[in-house]
Chains A and B, each alone.
Chain A
């Protein structure tokens, strides 16, 4: 694994092929759990852990799995890993486990996990695969975190609320009250807020990508093709 490959994989996961903003996979937790930064980032990290483990282990066993049954085997492995992570969190990070609740087992149904396994890990060796899973998971975490921050500030006027549940009572003072005596804005907390926020994030990402392309001026054609999409975001 050379340096260029590492950089490509990280770049793909975090920006170029970001699962939340570009592949638009894994929307279930994106929309449901991103109501606060802490929820979003915690679930993102749990997903990143599952993706790293599942991509890595599937890269190891890929040559033993017949092509016809690869999907059931992959799903089986992902489900096992998610359950293992769930048990471990329940045992050693009880507070966080209670916060994330139903969304931990739901990582199984997050199609980004299976998508990366099928698209990358089933064709590559262990280290690049694990790194790909990690980078994609981190990309998702970043989107969940930013979306969570937007929704939390707009919806509740705070940042990092609930962080004591993740890091222990000592972190209670870390909660930032951005807007004092805020009445709350329900739309931002409810699922539509997640759709709108995600739309804005995608628009922002497209705008940045477009600007980068125009600056480089190497491929003008895709830049014009992408512009209406960016405008409507």
Chain B
């Protein structure tokens, strides 16, 4: 009996040892790569923002002119997000919102939605997604031009019922065999535009220190 208990303990200790070792390796890799990962994600985001905000549309420092906006059901966000504001000669030009489409084919699709001051979309880009490679991933600009269908669209131009993929009776094209992904994106962009409509003045309000600066 004693021998069994001892060998069991030994086995358990062995497993614990490997678990600790594995955790140590993982943790150190995480800390070693974390800054680089954050930096490359930030760089990628900047690249995306400059795609949806044409250079002749602003003369301010977009990355600094930002506004923390609370989680919103219309944006699909569950946390505070950052809105970046582009201004031309002090006048509001474009606001870049983060939005989440929660109902992609395999989970959330993170988007940035850039809206011009007049309510037209300046552009939409996918920040991250887990859609099926070769099937739902044509929402990425690198893979197809599909995401550009939003350029210039606005709520004034399309009534609410048109903000659907063609299969559901709306105005937006999609590829056969992969409707779930574009459906989720169209819905998220539509809701982001509604959010913009409701909060336009707040979104372009100048940075004032009265708002809490902590996240």
Contact = CB atoms under 8 A, between A and B. Distances in A.
Most buried by A among B11, B33, B106: B33
Contacts of B106: 102
A84 B25 contact: yes
B11 A190 contact: no
Contacts of B10: 66
Contact of B133 (A87, A92, A99, A155): A99
Interface residues of A, number: 38
B176 to A, nearest CB: 6
A162 B176 contact: no
Interface stretch (B12-20, B77-85, B192-200): B12-20
Contacts of A61: 18
B29 A66 contact: no
B135 interface: yes
A84 B134 CA distance: 26
Contacts, number: 77
A3 to B, nearest CB: 34
Contact of B176 (A32, A88, A186): A186
A39 interface: yes
A76 B132 contact: no
Interface stretch (B36-44, B51-59, B90-98, B203-211): B36-44
Interface string B130-159: 101111000000110000000000000000
Interface stretch (A67-75, A110-118, A198-206): A67-75
Interface string B165-193: 00000000000110000000000000000
Contact of A80 (B22, B133, B135): B22
A165 interface: yes
Bin the interface of chain B by size. 20 to 34
A190 B177 contact: yes
A190 B178 CA distance: 10
Contacts of B36: 91-92
Contact of A76 (B22, B30, B41, B133): B22
B37 A80 contact: no
Contacts of B11: 66, 68-69
Contacts of A98: 128
A189 B37 contact: no
Interface string A49-75: 000000000000100111011001100
3 closest cross-chain pairs (CB), A and B: A35-B134, A91-B36, A91-B33
Given A88-B33, A91-B40, A190-B135, 5 more contacts: A65-B18, A68-B11, A91-B36, A92-B36, A101-B133
15 contacts: A64-B14, A65-B14, A68-B11, A69-B14, A77-B22, A87-B30, A91-B40, A98-B128, A99-B133, A101-B129, A103-B133, A162-B142, A162-B143, A165-B142, A189-B135
